[in-house]
């Protein structure tokens, strides 16, 4: 299994500002995933971050709002830009597991509240 850490664990931000969330994995991985879990909602994939190439965004998510960096095989950042209260959510990064069944391992999440 992979050990994943995220910073910050939580933050309270003012609308119009931006927050960068860091994700560190204890092993090299090809793909890293960024999810959002809004209050009472399911886990929604924002984008897939590949090292050495542009991130792939899911429908409804754009690079200008959620720029992603992937400088190496163990680290990624997600920025939530020009925040509004609707961005209040838990943001999670994850990586694929190795095994017969392709599971995913998740970081502890970053709880964001936008006022």
Decide: is 105 part of the binding site for another protein (CB under 8 A): yes
Instruction: Tell me whether residue 14 or residue 42 sits nearer to another protein (CB atom).
Output: 42
Instruction: Show the beta-strand stretches assigned E in 1-115.
Output: 4-7, 10-13, 19-25, 31-37, 43-50, 56-57, 68-72, 75-80, 89-96, 104-106, 110-114
Q: Tell me whether strands 110-114 and 10-13 are parallel, antiparallel or unpaired.
A: parallel
Q: Report the site for another protein in 22-81 (rule: CB under 8 A).
A: 33, 40-45, 48, 58
Tell me the β-bridge partners of 69. 77
8 A C-beta contact, residue 63 and residue 80: no
The one segment of 14-22, 67-75, 81-89, 98-106 that binds another protein by CB under 8 A: 98-106
Q: Which is nearer to another protein, 15 or 54 (CB)?
A: 54
Q: What distance in Å separates the CA atoms of residue 43 and residue 27, rounded to the nearest whole number?
A: 24
Residue 16 C-beta: closest distance to another protein, Å: 27
Nearer to another protein, 15 or 26 (CB): 26
Q: Which of 94, 95, 112, 114 binds another protein (CB under 8 A)?
A: 94
Q: Site residues (CB under 8 A) for another protein?
A: 4, 9, 33, 40-45, 48, 58, 92, 94, 97, 101-109, 111
């Amino acid at each position: 299994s992979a050990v994943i850490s995220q910073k910050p664990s939580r933050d309270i931000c003012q609308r119009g500002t931006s927050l960068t969330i860091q994700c560190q994995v204890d092993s090299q991985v090809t793909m890293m995933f960024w999810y959002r879990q809004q209050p009472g909602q399911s886990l929604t994939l924002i984008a897939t971050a590949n090292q050495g190439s542009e991130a792939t965004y899911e429908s409804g998510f754009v690079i200008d709002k959620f720029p992603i960096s992937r400088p190496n095989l163990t680290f990624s950042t997600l920025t939530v830009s020009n925040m509004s209260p609707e961005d209040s959510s838990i943001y999670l990064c994850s990586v694929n597991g190795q095994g017969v069944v392709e599971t995913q391992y998740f970081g502890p999440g970053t709880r964001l509240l936008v006022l």
